Chains A and B, each alone.
Chain A
Amino acid sequence: MKKWLGILLVLALAGGVIGYKMYNKPHKDLSSASPDYVLFPSTLVNEYEEDEDAANAKYLDKVIELKGKVREISQDGTGNFIMETGNPLSGVQCALLNPEDIRSLSEGATVTVRGICTGKLMDVNLSRCVIIL
């Protein structure tokens, strides 16, 4: 009887630990995560312009790595910048995980950025972005 109680207690404890770990599961670390897609910013935007639903089905929640030129840096402290796509109406807007990383960027410079695709408003949007050196 005592033995069973002991086993139950251990099981309950293990369940609690697993539950707690799941509850506190960390966000994916994009600086070490391998990308699902490595693309040019123009490729991503073109696919979205062609068929937004199909592009969403393919790219939403995926880790996207882009290499390209910085078109525009937002100076409002929100940590957003836009990648050049050759399409003046639609770029790729990247929201940096650490807004202060924006200081390492300059307009016209070539960068590699990794982020999670959240869809398209005017630009295709990536969130939790990190700059890959």
Chain B
Amino acid sequence: MKRVLILSCMLVIIAHASFAQKYFTKTGQISFYSDTPLEKIEAHTKSATCVLDGSNGKMEFAVLIKSFQFEKALMQEHFNENYMESNKFPKSTFKGQIDNFNSVDLSKNGRYNAKVSGQLTIHGVTKDVSTDAIIQVQGDKLDCQSTFEVAVADYGITIPAVVKDNIAKVVKIKVMANLEPLKQ
């Protein structure tokens, strides 16, 4: 009887471990928007990586700064060379977790509101951030979306006086990632 109990305990553990899936994408979409009365600027990338650990809600994002595409080539140049110094700081990352992971059931289809917090690194400067996100569970796929704001000055990015009215002090960032189970 004891043996059966131990065996069934082990089975439960194994079943739980195999369910503890990692979710992943290499084609996460990140956009940012700088709106001022003088000028609206936006840039997009569709090549961000994101991984979410289904066992504990930890997540990581990484994006190459040079992958952001602007409508105007000159703006893209200035963004990379003058503001983000992307040769020196080629990547931006986020490392954090879903704080209310207990109320997100990845095994059940539905739309969940998630609180995400962690460390955001831009331009070599790391700051604590938190935001709301929506996770849509559809079968074994997770559709994640979030919008948050970043103050340019917080990350040591200096905007020259000549264009200070053209570039917003607070930039809106939109993230969309369709995560799929990582094949192991």
Bound CA–CA A122/B72 (angstroms) = 28
Name the A residues within 8 Å of B72 (CB-CB). 23-25
Interface string of B74-85 (1 = CB under 8 A from A): 101000100000
| Residue positions of B touching A, CB distance < 8 A | 26-27, 29, 45-47, 49, 62-67, 69, 72-74, 76, 80, 86-87, 90-91, 178
Question: A25-B73, A27-B73, A80-B47 given as contacts; is B27 within 8 A of A125 (CB)?
Answer: no
Name the B residues within 8 Å of A22 (CB-CB). 74
Bound CA–CA A5/B46 (angstroms) = 52
- Whether A118 contacts B64 by the Cβ 8 Å rule is yes
User: Which residues, 30 to 62 on A, are CB-close (under 8 Å) to B?
Assistant: 56, 60-61
User: Which residues, 11 to 31 on A, are CB-close (under 8 Å) to B?
Assistant: 22-28
Q: Which residue of A lies closest to B63 (CB)?
A: A121
How many A-B contacts are there with CB distance less than 8 Å? 73
Number of contact residues on A: which range applies?
20 to 34
Name the B residues within 8 Å of A95 (CB-CB). 45-47, 67
Name the B residues within 8 Å of A93 (CB-CB). 26, 47
Question: A22-B74, A25-B73, A127-B47 given as contacts; is B27 within 8 A of A76 (CB)?
Answer: yes
Name the A residues within 8 Å of B67 (CB-CB). 95, 118-119, 125, 127
- Whether A76 contacts B64 by the Cβ 8 Å rule is no
Within the complex, the shortest CB–CB distance from B43 to chain A, in Å, comes to 12
Q: Which residue of A lies closest to B46 (CB)?
A: A78
Sorted from nearest, which 8 A-B pairs have the closest CB atoms?
Answer: A118-B66, A78-B46, A78-B27, A119-B90, A27-B73, A119-B64, A118-B67, A118-B64
Q: Can you list 28 A-B pairs with a CB-CB distance of less than 8 A?
A: A24-B72, A24-B74, A26-B73, A56-B87, A60-B66, A60-B86, A60-B87, A60-B90, A61-B80, A74-B27, A78-B46, A78-B47, A82-B26, A93-B47, A95-B45, A99-B46, A116-B66, A119-B67, A119-B90, A120-B64, A121-B26, A121-B47, A121-B62, A122-B26, A122-B49, A125-B47, A127-B45, A127-B67
Q: Which residue of A lies closest to B47 (CB)?
A: A95
